[in-house]
């Protein structure tokens, strides 16, 4: 007897940034995923297919930007032009051909030494600081102007606009607190690189003068009195998500970089009210936004940053707590969608092991459920259980797999 005819499905992709980890001695050699109580993730594992994914390739440490490009079906080796342009797009700046964009940190400098690279993770007043910085005029290089905008917490983006500029310059970021900032230098012998380095050095110096005397910094223990600028890049514009894949895509995120990737690909980008990209974010605002977005969009991507923060902070207990919060939100979200007509994916863009305090190349667990997805033996969502699953894939495999499960993949041959 014939089954009913198939229908195209939608996809809800939930990503916990940097959530993959390594065994932690003080957690009994378990990872945060292994230790966390995650009934909703486990439910997905039980009704779906699980496994491990190398976001780029085994042994390659992914950035969040390159990995997200890959997970959205774009080759990052072709389309990644540095983090600056992505950060700038993420905060809503419009980039023009030839613009050089940077990601920036508000930092604290004292007696010529960077004493906090994040100005105490400043939250209040960055909009006012950015407004003041935006008034700066570059005079050492004719025809160059700056556009500066704050992002979440200590983050911001800078664009240098003008003729003949180059991203081939060094950063002023010493990368470790306790060191003096560095002078920006051209890293290739071109007039454009020399001009760009000169303009950026002038901007950094002038912004320090503007920031240190700004009222927002009055009384701050760690004043946001200095800008660290890195990730210089010139935009490469890929074909839009809808052009490339033939479906509508939505990105729900608070973090500038992720919104930037969505914006780069011409996807709908939603920053729900209360979503901060920090530990105090409102996950339920994101869940509600996802439910709404699924009504108009085929591919809805929900980004969660806090797992990555806990990894960078080297705090495994915090990571466990964040994972349990995410699981609760997932329970709320799954109740509001139709799993029969929605492919649900949960994974990460990379591991950020607490012991490493940075991205590692360890593969990330992944689960795909909903629709008529295969069911494997895995019943718990974690790195170890995932080794028994059906999937052992690379990031570049995932988007085609999702398109297939959604009933939207093209056949190769006849």
Q: Which of 180, 243, 377, 379 binds a copy of itself (CB under 8 A)?
A: 377
Q: Are 354 and 310 in contact (CB under 8 A)?
A: yes
Tokens found for residue 51 = 């496994």
Binding residues among 33-52 for a copy of itself as defined by CB under 8 A: 52
Segment near a copy of itself (CB under 8 A); pick from 22-30, 94-102, 197-205, 286-294? 22-30
397 binds a copy of itself (CB under 8 A): yes
Q: Which of 41, 56, 101, 265 binds a copy of itself (CB under 8 A)?
A: 56
Give the residue with the Cβ less far from a copy of itself, 44 or 293. Answer: 44
Segment near a copy of itself (CB under 8 A); pick from 56-64, 111-119, 240-248, 280-288? 56-64
> What whole-number distance in Å separates Cα of residue 37 and Cα of residue 327?
8
Q: Which of 37, 57, 191, 205 binds a copy of itself (CB under 8 A)?
A: 57
Q: Which residues pair with 161 in a beta bridge?
A: 145
231 binds a copy of itself (CB under 8 A): yes
From residue 238 to residue 267, what is the string marking binding to a copy of itself with x (rule CB under 8 A)?
Answer: -------------------x----------
388 binds a copy of itself (CB under 8 A): yes
Task: Give kind and range of the element (H or E) at residue 161.
Answer: strand 155-161
Q: Nearest Cα to 367, choosing from 340, 409, 398? A: 398
Q: What is the DSSP string of 120-143?
A: TT--SSHHHHHHHHTT----SSTT
Pairing mode, strands 49-54 and 155-161: unpaired
Q: Which of 181, 256, 359, 370 binds a copy of itself (CB under 8 A)?
A: 359
399 binds a copy of itself (CB under 8 A): yes
The 10 Å Cβ neighbour count of residue 206 is 18
Give the residue with the Cβ less far from a copy of itself, 132 or 247. Answer: 247
State the nearest-atom distance from the C-beta of 155 to a copy of itself, in Å. Answer: 11
Segment near a copy of itself (CB under 8 A); pick from 199-207, 210-218, 288-296, 390-398? 390-398
Give the residue with the Cβ less far from a copy of itself, 29 or 213. Answer: 29
Q: Which of 113, 177, 236, 384 binds a copy of itself (CB under 8 A)?
A: 384
Give the residue with the Cβ less far from a copy of itself, 23 or 98. Answer: 23
Q: Nearest Cα to 256, choosing from 93, 126, 74? A: 93
State the nearest-atom distance from the C-beta of 295 to a copy of itself, in Å. Answer: 24
Q: Which residues pair with 365 in a beta bridge?
A: 52
State the nearest-atom distance from the C-beta of 31 to a copy of itself, in Å. Answer: 8
Query: What are the backbone angles phi and psi of residue 202, rounded to the nearest 5°?
Result: -65, -45
Q: Which of 101, 353, 369, 381 binds a copy of itself (CB under 8 A)?
A: 353
> What whole-number distance in Å separates Cα of residue 43 and Cα of residue 378?
10
From residue 92 to residue 121, what is the string marking binding to a copy of itself with x (rule CB under 8 A)?
Answer: -----------x------------------
Q: Are 323 and 352 in contact (CB under 8 A)?
A: no
Segment near a copy of itself (CB under 8 A); pick from 78-86, 144-152, 265-273, 301-309? 78-86
State the nearest-atom distance from the C-beta of 98 to a copy of itself, in Å. Answer: 22
Q: Are 51 and 37 in contact (CB under 8 A)?
A: no
Tokens found for residue 47 = 């009704």
In sequence order, the 6+-apart residues with CB closer than 8 A to the CB of 128 are 214, 215, 216
State the nearest-atom distance from the C-beta of 260 to a copy of itself, in Å. Answer: 11
Tokens found for residue 141 = 């290089």
> What whole-number distance in Å separates Cα of residue 258 and Cα of residue 384?
28
The SS3 assignment for 15 reads strand
Q: Nearest Cα to 391, choosing from 359, 369, 360? A: 369
Binding residues among 304-323 for a copy of itself as defined by CB under 8 A: 313-317
């Amino acid at each position: 007897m014939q089954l009913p005819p198939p229908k195209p499905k939608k996809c809800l992709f939930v990503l916990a940034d940097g959530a993959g980890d390594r065994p932690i001695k003080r957690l009994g050699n378990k990872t945060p995923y292994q230790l966390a109580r995650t009934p909703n993730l486990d439910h997905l594992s039980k009704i779906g297919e699980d496994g491990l994914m190398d976001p780029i390739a085994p042994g390659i440490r992914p950035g969040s930007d390159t990995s997200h490009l890959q997970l959205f079906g774009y080759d990052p080796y072709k389309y990644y032009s540095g983090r600056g342009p992505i950060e700038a797009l993420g905060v809503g700046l419009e980039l023009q051909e030839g613009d050089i964009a940077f990601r920036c940190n508000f930092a604290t400098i004292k007696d010529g030494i960077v004493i906090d690279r994040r100005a105490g993770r400043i939250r209040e007043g960055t909009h006012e600081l950015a407004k003041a910085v935006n008034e700066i005029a570059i005079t050492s290089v004719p025809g160059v102007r700056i556009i500066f905008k704050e992002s979440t917490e200590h983050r911001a983006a800078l664009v240098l606009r003008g003729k003949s500029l180059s991203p081939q310059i060094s950063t002023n970021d010493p990368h470790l607190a306790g060191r003096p900032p560095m002078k920006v230098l051209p890293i290739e012998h071109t007039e454009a690189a020399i001009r760009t380095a000169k303009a950026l050095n002038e901007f950094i110096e002038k912004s320090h003068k503007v920031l240190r005397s700004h009222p927002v910094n009055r009384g701050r223990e760690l004043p946001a009195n200095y800008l660290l600028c890195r990730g210089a890049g010139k935009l490469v514009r890929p074909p839009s998500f809808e052009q490339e894949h033939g479906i509508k895509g939505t990105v729900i995120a608070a973090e500038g970089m992720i919104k930037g990737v969505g914006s780069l690909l011409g996807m709908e980008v939603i920053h729900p009210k209360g979503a901060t990209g920090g530990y105090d974010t409102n996950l339920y605002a994101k869940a509600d936004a996802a439910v709404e977005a699924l009504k108009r969009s085929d591919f809805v991507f929900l980004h969660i940053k806090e797992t990555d923060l806990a990894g960078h902070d080297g705090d495994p207990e915090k990571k466990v707590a964040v994972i349990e919060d995410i699981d609760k939100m997932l329970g709320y979200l799954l109740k509001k969608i139709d799993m029969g007509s929605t492919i649900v994916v949960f994974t990460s863009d990379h591991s950020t092991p607490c012991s490493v305090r940075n991205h590692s190349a360890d593969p990330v667990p992944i689960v795909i459920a909903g629709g008529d997805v295969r069911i494997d033996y895995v019943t718990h969502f974690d790195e170890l259980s995932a080794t028994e699953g059906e999937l052992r894939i690379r990031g570049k495999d995932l988007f085609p797999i999702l398109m297939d499960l959604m009933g939207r993949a093209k056949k190769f041959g006849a």
